[in-house]
Amino acid sequence: MYIWIVQKALTQRLAIWAWVSIALGVLCFLPGSDFRVGLAFQFFGWALASLALGGFGHLSARRHQARLTLAEKMVAAPEETSKMLLLLQGSAALGLLCLLGGLALVVFMQAHGSFWAGAGTGITLQGVFVLFFSRYYARKLR
C-alpha cells in the first residue's frame, strides 16, 4: 500500500519542480543574454515535460486505484512497486544521459555561441535533477 503514497508524493513533487522550472525560465529571460535565453528554453521545455508526465501519472494512478478494492490494492501493491521501480531506473538512466549530453553540448557547442552553453547548462541541471529525483524515489520503494 506504500506504493500509492509514494506515487502521489512523486507526482506532486514533479509538478512543484515544473512550476519552479517555469519561474526560473522567466527569471532567465528577464536579463536577456544569449546564455540565459538558452537556459530559459531548457527550463520551459523541461517544465512542460514534467507537467505532462506528472499529470499523466497522477490521473493514471487515480483511475487505477479507483477501480480496485482495498483487498485488490494490497494484492496489486508488489507488482505496482516493481513497475514503478523499473520506471524510476529508466528515468535515472535518462537523467544521466541528459547530464552527459548537456555537458557535451556546453563543451562542444560553446564556440558557436553562448546560447548553446546556456542550453547545455539547462540540460545538465535538469539531468542532475532527474537522476537524483529518480534515485531518491527508487530508494523509498526498496
| 74: Cβ contacts below 8 Å, ≥ 6 apart | 1
Q: For the chain, how many structural domains are there in total?
A: 1
Cell reading at 49: 515535460
Which residue range forms the structural domain that includes residue 56?
2-141
| Residue-wise pLDDT tens digits, 127-138 | 999 999 999 999
Amino acid symbol at 120: G
pTM of the model: 0.84
pLDDT of residue 21: 92
Mean pLDDT of 85-103: 95
pLDDT of residue 113: 87
Mean pLDDT of 88-108: 94
